[in-house]
Chains A and B, each alone.
Chain A
C-alpha cells in the first residue's frame, strides 16, 4: 500500500514536510487554508495533502486548531456564526469551499466521529442506518445488510446483534463510541474524520477503538485528532504537528516520533511544552 519514504523539500514556507505517500494518491488536498473566528485567526496558511488509505493524525497542544481544521473538512464549522475562511480544501477534484457546493451531499461522502459518543435517542439499529434513512433509503434488505456490515466493521456486531431494537443510550461509553463509528461508516464514505475519539474512554475501550482504526485503514482515509501521543504513534501513518494555528511539521509517524526534523516538534513530543 505505501511506498518508501521520500524526504521532500518544505512545500509551504512554514511547514516541514516529509510524509509517507500512498500509492493510491491523495484523498484530501488542503491549499492555503486560513480561518477566522470573527477577528481572531485560528488557522494560518495550512497546506496539507492527506493520503488515501492511510491514517493521518493531527497532534498539538490545546487550542492549536487541529479540531478546527478537522471540522473544516466536512464543513461542520458552518454552524458557527461569524466564521470566515480563505483557501480551498479539495476532496478528489471537488472543492469543498466553493460557490454552489451542496454541503449535505459533501457530508455524505465523509463520516465523522466525535470526542464524546453522541448516539441519537433511538434504537441501536436506527442509529446505525441513520445516514441511509436520511438519504431516503427504506428498503429493508439494504438497511439490514448495511447495519450488519457496519456493526461488524466496528467490532460491535457480536455484542449487540440480539438487542438491535433497544435504545442506544443504554450502552456503555465504549460501545456507544463504536456505534458512532459504525454510523460514520454506514454510508460507505471516502473519508473518516475522528475528533479525539478516545478521550472520553477507558483504556480497554480505547484499545478496542485503536484496533478498529487499524482494520478500517484498509478501506478508508482516516484523519484523527488526538491528544494522546502514544495513540498517534500507534495508529497513524503520517502525523501533522500543529501549533498556534500553523502546521509546523507534517511527516511520517516513525520519523516524527523518533527523529523529528524540527526542534519545536521534538520539544512537544518529548513533553518539554504543551
Chain B
C-alpha cells in the first residue's frame, strides 16, 4: 500500500487536523435567527392586517341594504327581518322536550346542536325588541316577498313591513311608490326647517335671553342690589327680554304652523303580523323595497347612508344617525392637544438637553419623564378633573364668570381641559423624541455655528432645531396617535354621550373651549356597551371604529407629509 504525504493510507482520514468545510456553521450564518425575526414580523403583520380587515369588512358592509326575509314559523306566527348573522348552538333540554320527534332526531343527528339565524325584525315600538333568533327547526318557510319595505325612522329605529296607504295634503290615497318618494323628500325639508328654527333661531333667542339675564345679575353683583345703576341696567335688559320673548313666540308660532301642515302628510304602515301604524311622513328618513331594488339603487342608499353618517347628528341614543359632532370633537381636541403639547415638550427637552448641566439631577428628571409615560391614563383623567376643571376652571369661574355661578362655566369638564389633560399624558413621548432628535444633531454642526460667532441660542434656533425638526415631528406624530386613541381620561374631563352644542358656533367668542364635546372613541364605547340594545349598536361600533381609524390615518398622513417635505427640503447628508 502506498502511503500519502501526511503519512496516512489513502481513504483514511488525516489525523490531528481540523477538516475545513466550505460552508459556514449554521450558528455563524445566523440562519435560525433570521427565521425567527422573519416569523415575528410575519405574525405582527398578520395580526394587524387581520384586525384592519375585520374592521374594514364589517365597517364597509354595514350600510349596504340587505334583503328582508319573511319567515313562517311552525308555531304559526310569521316574522320579517334582515338576516344579520347565523350560528350553531346547543339546544337546551327544556326546549328539546317541547319538540316533535322528527325535530329531535334532526338535532340528535347533529350531536345536540342546531343552526339558527338572527333576524333584525326592527319595529322596536311594537315588539319591544329589535332582533329575533330563529332556529332552523322552528322555521317552516323562508321567502323574500317584494312588497316588504324597510323604513328608517327618526324615532324608534327602523320599521319592517308593508306600506298600506298614504295621506297627502289630508287626502287619503292608495300607495304609490314614486309619489311617496317625492312627498317624503318634501316632508324631510319641512322637518329640516323645523329643526333649524328650533335649533338655530330659538337657540339664538335663548342665548340672547341668557345674556340679558346675566347682565342683570352682573349689575347686581357689581353695584349692589337695589342700587340705581343696577336698576337702570335691569330696566334696559328687561325691555330687551320682552322683545326677545315676542320673537320667541313668533318663532314658536311659525313652528306650529309648519307642524300643522306636516301632520297632513302621513303614511300608513303594516307590520308582518298585520298590526298597523300611522305615522307622519316627515318621520321617515329613508325607505326602500328591500327585495325589489336594483344594484344602483342599493348603491345610492349605501352612499346616502354614509353621507348621513358623516354629516348629521346622532339620534336614537347614538345608535342611528351620524357622528358629525364626534368627528369635530375628536379632530378639534387632538389638534388642540398638539398645539399645547408641542411647545411644552420641545421647550422642556431643549432645556434638558442643551442647557441643563448633565448630571444626577437631569438623570432623575429623565427617568421621571419616562415613568410618566407608564402611568395609567385614567390617573391623568382624575388629575385633569381635579386640577384643571375644579381648581383652575373653578378659579376662572370665580374671577370672570361670577354672575353664572353656581352653574360652572370653566369649572367642569370641557374640550380645553380634555386637550390639556391629553397634552400632559403625551408630553413624555414628545420630550423623549425631541431629546433623541437633538442629540442626533452632529456636534460638527454646533461647532460650525459657534465658530461663525453665533450665540448658543442662535445656534439652537437656526441650526439645531431645523435639523432636529423631522425627529421632533416624529415625536408629535406618536403623541397624536396616542392622544387620538385615548378614551378613559376623557370620560372624566369633558366627553359626553350627547353634546348639546359644538365647541364653536356663531356666537361671540365663536370658539367655546369650556363646552363638553363628543369623541369617536367614547362613541364606540357608548354605542357598543351603553346602548339599550348592543346588537343594534354593533354595526355602528364597526363603522365608528373604521371612521376613527380613518381619521387618525388622515391626521397622521398629514403630519408625516409635512415631516417628509421638511426632510426633503434639508435632504439628508449625502456626503
Chain A residues close to B by CB (< 8 Å): 74, 76, 79, 104-105, 107-108, 110-112, 114-122, 130-131, 133-135, 167, 169-170, 172-173, 176, 180, 183-184, 187, 193, 200
The answer on a CB contact under 8 Å between B448 and A180 is yes
The A-contacting residues of B in range 386-427, CB under 8 angstroms, are none
The answer on a CB contact under 8 Å between A173 and B450 is no
Number of A-B pairs, beta carbon distance below 8 Å = 91
Report Cα–Cα, A164/B458, bound state, in Å. Answer: 22
The answer on a CB contact under 8 Å between A118 and B450 is no
Q: Determine, out of B315-323, B460-468, B523-531, the stretch whose residues face the partner at the interface.
A: B460-468
The answer on a CB contact under 8 Å between A114 and B444 is yes
The answer on a CB contact under 8 Å between B462 and A130 is yes
21 interchain pairs (CB within 8 A)? A76-B451, A79-B446, A79-B450, A104-B453, A107-B453, A115-B444, A116-B444, A118-B444, A119-B448, A120-B467, A131-B453, A133-B462, A134-B449, A134-B452, A134-B455, A169-B571, A169-B574, A170-B571, A183-B448, A183-B452, A200-B575
The answer on a CB contact under 8 Å between A104 and B455 is yes
The answer on a CB contact under 8 Å between B466 and A79 is no
The A-contacting residues of B in range 432-458, CB under 8 angstroms, are 442, 444-455, 458
Report Cα–Cα, A76/B462, bound state, in Å. Answer: 19
Chain A's interface: helix, strand, loop or mixed, by majority? mixed
CB distance from A130 to the nearest CB of B (A): 5
Report Cα–Cα, A115/B575, bound state, in Å. Answer: 13
The residue that B573 contacts in the complex, of A111, A169, A187, A193, with Cβ under 8 A, is A169
Across-interface contacts of A130 in B (CB, < 8 A): 449, 452, 454, 462
Q: Which residue of A lies closest to B456 (CB)?
A: A104
In the complex, which of the residues B445, B452, B467, B575 has the most CB atoms of chain A within 10 Å of its own CB atom? B452
Is B85 at the interface (CB under 8 A from chain A)? Answer: no
The answer on a CB contact under 8 Å between B575 and A117 is yes
CB distance from B495 to the nearest CB of A (A): 41
Q: Count how many chain B residues have C-beta atoms less than 8 Å from C-beta atoms of the other chain.
A: 25
Across-interface contacts of A187 in B (CB, < 8 A): 452-453
| B11-43 interface bits toward A, Cβ cutoff 8 Å, 1 = contact, 0 = none | 000000000000000000000000000000000
Report Cα–Cα, A136/B569, bound state, in Å. Answer: 25
Report Cα–Cα, A114/B574, bound state, in Å. Answer: 17
The answer on a CB contact under 8 Å between A120 and B445 is yes
Known contacts A121-B445, A130-B452, A131-B454; 9 additional CB pairs below 8 A are: A108-B452, A117-B575, A120-B467, A130-B462, A134-B452, A167-B569, A170-B574, A172-B575, A176-B575
The answer on a CB contact under 8 Å between B574 and A107 is no
In the complex, which of the residues A110, A120, A170, A173 has the most CB atoms of chain B within 10 Å of its own CB atom? A120
The answer on a CB contact under 8 Å between B575 and A134 is no
The answer on a CB contact under 8 Å between B447 and A169 is no
The residue that B452 contacts in the complex, of A117, A131, A193, with Cβ under 8 A, is A131
Across-interface contacts of A173 in B (CB, < 8 A): 575
Q: A107-B452, A117-B575, A187-B452 are in contact. Are A134 and B467 (CB under 8 A)?
A: no
Q: A105-B453, A167-B571 are in contact. Are A118 and B447 (CB under 8 A)?
A: yes
Interface pairs A-B: 4 shortest CB-CB: A108-B453, A121-B570, A112-B451, A118-B444
CB distance from B446 to the nearest CB of A (A): 8
The answer on a CB contact under 8 Å between A122 and B453 is no
Across-interface contacts of B449 in A (CB, < 8 A): 120, 130, 134
The answer on a CB contact under 8 Å between B448 and A114 is yes
The answer on a CB contact under 8 Å between B445 and A122 is no
Report Cα–Cα, A137/B462, bound state, in Å. Answer: 15
Q: Which residue of B lies closest to A120 (CB)?
A: B463
Report Cα–Cα, A148/B449, bound state, in Å. Answer: 20
